[in-house]
Amino acid sequence: MSNPVTRAFFIGKAFAEILGEKVEDTLTNALSEFGKFDAEQREKFRQVAEETMARADREMAQTNGGGGHGGQTSNGVSSGDLQETIDDLRAEIASLRSALNSHRNSPT
C-alpha cells in the first residue's frame, strides 16, 4: 500500500478538499463584508436624503413664513406657479426702480 501513485492521489485529493474549503471560506467572508458595506452605504444614503429633505422643508418654511409668495397646500407643495412668482418679483423690481428714479429726479 505504499504505492507512490496511490499516495500522490490521496495527497492531491486532500489538497483539493482543503483548497475548496479555503476558497469557500474566503468567498463567504468577502460576500459577508460586501453585504455589510452595501447595508452601511444604503443607511448613509437614507440619512443624507432625510437630512436634505429636512433642510429643504426648514428653508421653505422660512421663506414662506418670511413674506414669501405662494402658500402651501396640505401636501407641502407650493401652490403658486414658479414663473408667476418670478414675473411678480420682476414687476415689483421695475416698479421700485421707477419710483427710485422719480425720487432721484424730483427737485428737493
At position 19, the amino acid (one-letter code) is L
pLDDT of residue 11: 95
pLDDT of residue 107: 76
- Give the span between the Cα atoms of 50 and 54, in whole angstroms: 6
Backbone torsions φ then ψ of 3, nearest 5 degrees: -70, 125
Tell me the pLDDT tens digit for each residue of 7-63.
Answer: 999 999 999 999 999 999 999 999 999 999 999 999 999 999 999 999 998 888 888
**Would you say 48 and 42 are in contact if contact means Cβ atoms under 8 Å apart?**
no
Q: How confident is the model over 59-68, as a mean pLDDT?
A: 74
Residues in the chain: 108
Higher pLDDT, 79 or 7: 7
**CA distance from start to end of the chain:** 124
pTM of the model: 0.43
Q: How confident is the model over 74-102, as a mean pLDDT?
A: 79
